[in-house]
Structure 1
Amino acid sequence: MSHKYIALCLIFITLGCKPQSHTSKDTPTTYLDSTVTADFTLAFGSCNKQDETNFLWDDILKTQPDVWVWGGDNIYADTDNMQRLRAMYDQQNAIEGYKKLKENTTVIGTWDDHDYGLNDGGVDFHKKKESQQEFLDFMGVEKNDPRRTQEGVYTSHTYKTPQGSIKVIVLDTRYFRTALTPDTKTKKRTKPNAYGDGTVLGERQLTWLSNELYDSTADFNVLVSSIQILSNEHGFETWGNFPHEVDQLKKLIADSKAKGVMILSGDRHISEFSKTEIEGLPYPLIDFTSSGLTHSYTRFKNESNPFRVGKVVSTKSFGLIRFNFKTKETHMQMLGDGLKLLGELHQVY
């Protein structure tokens, strides 16, 4: 090892930053950026088939996240047979890369339809109570945790550091979600319900969410939704199918005056940033979609999203967010195999 390399490493250690990868025309840009100082790092992803190889676990580990957040479809089960569901969770837990992640990182998250048990499933899924217990087992949730007796897997986690704190509010968009409206006039799968008809969260969870935001003293508040909240024109599952609840959520975020609220979502097998301004909110609301981990919509060409910022990423990827409490800044990135940088967005709150 050369003296020059050692000197450079000492400089990086002194500055408290991760070393920056060399880039050239022949080398893909990676996530490493010596100008970004992170007080807290969150990595997340969704759409992970337990019987397909996930090439991203080693990359996720290299980012040294403080927490990994499952965004849903953590396995693909689509079953009401709890023995089969448990076996698939066991299969995922046995994967070496994921085992290493759990040994080094806190793991939290929510579910979506395929690990819930029914494609596009909602309130009427007849095995949702049993499936909830299997999901909580997979997540390593203690037997005396409130989620063991409540309806739905929603919960919150607060992470405190010497510089500040982050609250991760995990939503359940399955257990209470009412029927979707099929679109019979276009090639889209669904269309928005009549305004005021139906719910994503249900009354009890919505009340809980309100309390979580109003009572939050965190510097950043991260909402985890398995389905997109802002993108609403693609015809698949989205909060946009319940437009009144989108409006209700926006008003709640603004009225609560919670600091640094942002959304993490999955489901779509693409990754993208969506962004909107909300009256009364002093910063824009961003919906960071990261999907999928083992498979993606490689044939993607185009779809309408009036809130999109930047380009759609249709290759396998995970999301990374680095938080700086002093500058009130987030550095959001979509990262592929080999930590290739596929998209990024900076936001100051």
Structure 2
Amino acid sequence: MRLGIVLACLSWAAIAGAGAAYLPEGGAGRRYSPEEPLGRLSFGSCNDQRKGDRQSIWQGVLGSRPDVWLWLGDNIYADKKMKFYPKEFAKSTIEQMRGMYETQRSVPAYRELRDTVGKIVGTWDDHDYGLDDAGKEFPYKKESQQLFLDFLDVPQDSHLRRQEGVYNAHVFGPPGRRVKLVILDTRYHRDPLFSNGDVLGEEQWKWLEAELAASDAQVNIIASSIQFIPNHHETLCPLCYPKQSPFRVESWSHFQREKKRLGEIVARNGVEGVILLSGDVHFGEILMSPPGCTLPYNLFELTSSGMTHAASGSFPKIPLEIMKRFSPNPFGLGMYLERNFGTVDFDWEGATPVVTLSVRDHDGNPVLQKNVSVEDLRLPSDGNSMQEGKRPGACTHEGELLWPNRCRFCIILFSGFAVAIFLALRAVLSILAFLKYCFHLAVHREETKRKDH
């Protein structure tokens, strides 16, 4: 508890040094209007409606007093795990899914958020889409889309009801203090994993480029249900080598061509102020890709995942700490393995706007934080952009690392297991040897007594 208080104080002191972060005025009962400058966007993912005792994180969300709430996927869990390995899930019926959404809507603190927040928007990921790791092949995606839009209270005459996919965009704030939120759908049109195929589908790609090219916002937030910058899948070798491994980690890195395409769209259209938000992985993380790696300027990604359940509750503590400390994460600025949600704060008062990216714990205290000046999200003044084959050395991705470096988490983990097994065997053998000695000693004493008699 004391550590949490110290972290909170240090984090807020850091914000103050860059200009105080905007905190919405008025608290409960205040409803943000999209015409006002956006102060705080809060978001989260991986929220299991079946874990009623874990829905208490909504009190922390309410305490953060967001202007806008963003659902970033796995907003309910509509499938059920049948096997750990090979990984197998069973899907629910549409009627069952409807009941699951109603269960989530009936959570008292979430009802209070719906009554007080200015706007609720979002996208889905696999478990609320309908099935673990599912893509365009999912047979009930049209029906699932209507349920998802019902959950977000999208009007029946909205174009989103007729569109194939739940991608959408929103603009907040007046000119000069404007934020554009572009929310992607990484499920409806996605090709199978390991195919290096498509993620968004051609229509969504055209829409995305048009939205970014037409943007006059100072900050352009792109929200993706899965991570974009990192490739944690590559660093969990050999745990993730089998295609049905329960440890495999979905990300844009499974689709390198698509990942490159997003960077090209931003560069080609001269889009500035891009920041990424993501979920899915059951931990919080802040990442930065340096200029020339993905975009012509610094690309920051804020991941928040695990509202009702996180990595710390699913895996033993020691392997998680080994992963956190030793697994290569070339673009990582920090990782948090407990339940969390995320906030994005906008300070418009200084000469240059400042965006504060935060991962917050169950109670709403900041545990990871990064201040980003909008000035650092501008295109280079010399017009120098990314050039194929000329990435700086700092852009080495996980898959490009040599095997001993890339797989050092598993090397340390399995070596530790081997040492533990060796020591355990030595201990057992030592005990057996001692017992054998005691047995022979007892026999010897009995023989000596008989001879004496």
TM-score normalised by the chain length of structure 1: 0.85
Question: Using a 3 Å threshold, how does the CA distance of structure 1 residues 129 and 334 change in structure 2: closer, same or farther?
Answer: same
Q: Aligned AA for 2:21?
A: T
- Could you list the per-position Cα deviations for residues 248-274 of structure 1 after superposition, in whole angstroms to 9, with x for gaps in the alignment? 111112222223111100000011112
Cα distance in 2 for residues equivalent to 1:274 and 1:250: 16
The residue correspondences of 1:283-302 to structure 2 (distance < 5 A) are: 283-298=297-312, 299=315, 300-301=320-321, 302=323
Unaligned runs of 5+ residues in structure 1 are 1-22, 182-192
Report the counterpart of residue 96 of structure 1 in structure 2. 108
Q: Pick from 156, 159, 165: which aligns with 2:169?
A: 156
Secondary structure class of the residue paired with 2:73: coil
Question: Using a 3 Å threshold, how does the CA distance of structure 1 residues 95 and 251 change in structure 2: closer, same or farther?
Answer: same
Deviation (angstroms), 1:276: 0.7
Unaligned runs of 5+ residues in structure 2 are 23-36, 80-90, 234-247, 375-453
Secondary structure class of the residue paired with 1:218: coil
Q: Aligned AA for 1:56?
A: I
- Highest Rg: 1 or 2? 2
Cα distance in 2 for residues equivalent to 1:87 and 1:329: 41
Report the counterpart of residue 339 of structure 2 in structure 1. 316
Q: Tell me whether 1:306 sits opposite 2:306 in the alignment.
A: no
Report the counterpart of residue 236 of structure 1 in structure 2. 249
Cα distance in 1 for residues equivalent to 2:3 and 2:340: 22
Deviation (angstroms), 1:162: 7.4
Secondary structure class of the residue paired with 2:276: strand
Stretch moving more, 155-164 or 99-108: 155-164
Q: Aligned AA for 1:276?
A: S
- Could you list the per-position Cα deviations for residues 287-330 of structure 1 after superposition, in whole angstroms to 9, with x for gaps in the alignment? 11101100000132314332211x21100011011012342211
Q: Aligned AA for 1:203?
A: E
Report the counterpart of residue 21 of structure 2 in structure 1. 37
Cα distance in 2 for residues equivalent to 1:70 and 1:80: 21
Stretch moving more, 275-284 or 147-156: 275-284
Report the counterpart of residue 30 of structure 2 in structure 1. none
Report the counterpart of residue 266 of structure 2 in structure 1. 253
Report the counterpart of residue 175 of structure 1 in structure 2. 188
Report the counterpart of residue 5 of structure 1 in structure 2. none
Deviation (angstroms), 1:28: 4.8
Question: Using a 3 Å threshold, how does the CA distance of structure 1 residues 26 and 337 change in structure 2: closer, same or farther?
Answer: closer
Report the counterpart of residue 9 of structure 1 in structure 2. none
Q: Pick from 324, 330, 333: which aligns with 2:358?
A: 333
Secondary structure class of the residue paired with 1:339: coil
Report the counterpart of residue 205 of structure 2 in structure 1. 206
Stretch moving more, 292-301 or 144-153: 292-301
Report the counterpart of residue 56 of structure 2 in structure 1. 55
Secondary structure class of the residue paired with 2:311: coil
Q: Aligned AA for 2:94?
A: M
Q: Tell me whether 1:72 sits opposite 2:73 in the alignment.
A: yes
Cα distance in 2 for residues equivalent to 1:89 and 1:116: 12
Hey, which of these two has a bigger chunk of helix by percent? 2
Q: Aligned AA for 2:249?
A: F
Deviation (angstroms), 1:277: 2.4
Cα distance in 2 for residues equivalent to 1:247 and 1:162: 30
Report the counterpart of residue 124 of structure 1 in structure 2. 137
Cα distance in 1 for residues equivalent to 2:285 and 2:267: 23
Stretch moving more, 254-263 or 112-121: 254-263
Report the counterpart of residue 85 of structure 1 in structure 2. 97
Q: 2:21–2:356: 8 Å Cα contact kept in structure 1?
A: no
Q: 1:28–1:340: 8 Å Cα contact kept in structure 2?
A: no
Cα distance in 1 for residues equivalent to 2:268 and 2:291: 11
Q: Aligned AA for 1:284?
A: N
Report the counterpart of residue 347 of structure 1 in structure 2. 372
Cα distance in 2 for residues equivalent to 1:26 and 1:126: 46
- Could you list the per-position Cα deviations for residues 94-148 of structure 1 after superposition, in whole angstroms to 9, with x for gaps in the alignment? 0001001111111111000000001000000000000000000001100111110
Stretch moving more, 218-227 or 250-259: 250-259
Cα distance in 2 for residues equivalent to 1:219 and 1:143: 32
Report the counterpart of residue 6 of structure 1 in structure 2. none
Identity %: 38
Stretch moving more, 317-326 or 262-271: 317-326
Stretch moving more, 58-67 or 158-167: 158-167
Q: Aligned AA for 1:44?
A: F
Cα distance in 2 for residues equivalent to 1:80 and 1:328: 46
Q: Aligned AA for 1:73?
A: D
Cα distance in 2 for residues equivalent to 1:73 and 1:304: 27
Stretch moving more, 242-251 or 228-237: 228-237
Deviation (angstroms), 1:233: 3.6
